[in-house]
């Protein structure tokens, strides 16, 4: 399979990993829409929302709550948007959830700076 996220999970492509367990892998988006833009992906390949099982989906949201607090506390964001795309709007066909911090005043940090704060 030629899946970018599977390659990241398998350490074939480097990433700024901020969380990992047996079920999920979370890392910083290398082309972030905002400072701290994070992706949470299941380690098992699921193509989209209709493909993923309820147990894995529930675990993803459990980890989302943990990472939401970490992002808020360490990056001082003013809000956080969750986005999950399907179909034609889904760029990479491996289920993933975006955590996009929102700032009233723009925060410019490098990926390396954000990584040091969130790892």
List the catalytic residues.
Answer: 96
CA distances from 64 to 32, 77, 105 (A): 17, 15, 24
Closest-CA residue to 6 (of 99, 96, 94, 97): 94
Question: For the chain, first and last CA: distance in Å?
Answer: 29
């Amino acid at each position: 399979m030629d899946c970018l996220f599977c390659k990241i999970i398998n350490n074939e492509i480097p990433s700024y990993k901020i969380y990992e367990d047996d079920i999920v892998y979370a890392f910083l988006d290398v082309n972030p829409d905002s400072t701290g833009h994070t992706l949470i992906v299941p380690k098992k390949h699921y193509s989209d929302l209709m493909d993923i099982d309820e147990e894995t989906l529930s675990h993803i949201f459990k980890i989302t709550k943990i990472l939401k607090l970490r992002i808020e506390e360490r990056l001082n964001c003013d809000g956080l948007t969750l986005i999950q795309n399907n179909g034609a709007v889904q760029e990479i066909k491996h289920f993933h959830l975006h955590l996009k911090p929102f700032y009233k005043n723009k925060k410019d940090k490098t990926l390396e700076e954000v990584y040091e704060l969130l790892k």
